[in-house]
A and B are shown apart, each in its own frame.
Chain A
Amino acid sequence: MCLGIPGRIVAIVDAERMLATADIAGVRRDINVACVAEGPLDDLPGRWVLIHVGFAMALIDEDEAARTLEALRALGETEELAGAISGQAGAAPGGTAR
Chain B
Amino acid sequence: MPIFDKSSESSVTRAILSQFAKDMEEFAETDVIIIGGGPSGLMAAHDLAKKKVKVLIVERNNYLGGGFWIGGFLMNTLTIRAPAQKVLDELDIAYKQYEKGLYITPGPLACSKLIAAACEAGASILNMAMFDDLVLREKNRVAGAVINWTPVSLLPRQISCVDPVALESKLVIDATGHDASVVRKLEERGLIKTPGFGAMWVEKSEDAVVEHSGFAHPGLIVIGMAVSTTFGLPRMGPTFGSMLLSGRRGAEVAYDYLKKKAR
Asked whether A and B interact, the reply is no
